[in-house]
């Protein structure tokens, strides 16, 4: 893996300039947290890193060394499939039995076989996050992955997430500095 370098990145949607002259380095194996007010381009930058948006100007280098996984702002689960089945879409080598301890650690054991469309918002969010973390991605783009989690659940999930991120490069978007701190992230303001 190598550092990801973003130089002079710009993006507009019609007359609305979303990113202007953004430059930063995402260290290989490190976690960077993008913080800025809503509408400042955090999600757009993640989408560019994922190859889902094209910059109007500037460049991103170093991505060729990465397999990318992403947690979007919405969960993007297949509603008819259980958490186990949704996770196995990106980790087919994992058996149901091998996933159960991980689901337990993410406080999802009781809904392991329930259709995703029946999950609470917090359960769906944890399933989407665990699915990304269990993929073979070495670059994880996490767009507000802890939304809807609070209290003890948030603390447990942050601890488990940090452990599963070890050795991988991560870009996190959140409005809560305590989440960035819990993941050992370098905070970057856009």
Q: How many Cβ atoms sit within 10 Å of the Cβ of residue 165?
A: 20
Q: How many domains does the chain have?
A: 1
* CA 35 from centre of chain: 14
Unique residue bearing structure tokens 């019609």: 14
Using CA atoms, how far residue 141 sits from 66, 110, 151, in Å, is 12, 27, 24
Provide the token pair at 39: 């509408």
The enclosing domain of 68 has a CATH number of 3.40.50.300
pTM for this entry: 0.95
Handedness of CA 120, 125, 126, 131 (dihedral sign): positive
Using CA atoms, how far residue 36 sits from 18, 177, 187, in Å, is 12, 11, 10
Domain that holds residue 97: 4-189
C-beta contacts of 25-30 below 8 A and 24+ residues apart = 26/62, 26/169, 26/171, 27/3, 27/169, 27/186, 28/1, 28/2, 28/3, 28/4, 28/62, 28/65, 28/169, 29/1, 29/167, 29/168, 29/169, 30/169, 30/170, 30/186
The one-digit pLDDT tens for each residue of the chain (190 residues) are 899 999 999 999 999 999 999 999 999 999 999 999 888 999 999 999 999 999 999 999 999 999 999 999 999 999 999 999 999 999 999 999 999 999 999 999 999 999 999 999 999 999 999 999 999 999 999 999 999 898 899 999 999 999 999 999 999 999 999 999 999 999 999 8
């Amino acid at each position: 893996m190598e550092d990801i370098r973003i130089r002079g990145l710009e993006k507009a949607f019609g007359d609305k300039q979303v990113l202007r002259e953004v430059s930063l380095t995402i260290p290989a194996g490190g976690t960077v947290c993008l913080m800025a007010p809503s509408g400042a381009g955090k999600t757009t930058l993640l989408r560019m890193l994922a190859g889902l948006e094209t910059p109007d100007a500037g460049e991103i280098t170093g991505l060729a060394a990465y397999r990318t996984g992403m947690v979007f702002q919405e969960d993007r689960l297949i509603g008819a499939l259980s958490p186990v089945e949704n996770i196995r879409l990106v980790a087919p080598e994992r058996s149901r039995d091998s996933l159960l301890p991980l689901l337990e650690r993410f406080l999802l054991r009781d809904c392991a076989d329930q259709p995703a469309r029946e999950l609470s918002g917090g359960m769906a969010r944890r399933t989407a996050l665990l699915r990304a973390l269990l993929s073979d991605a070495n670059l994880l783009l996490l767009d507000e992955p802890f939304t809807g989690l609070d209290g003890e659940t948030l603390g447990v999930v942050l601890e488990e997430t940090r452990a599963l991120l070890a050795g991988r490069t991560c870009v996190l978007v959140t409005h809560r500095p305590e989440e960035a701190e819990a993941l050992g992230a370098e905070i970057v303001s856009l």
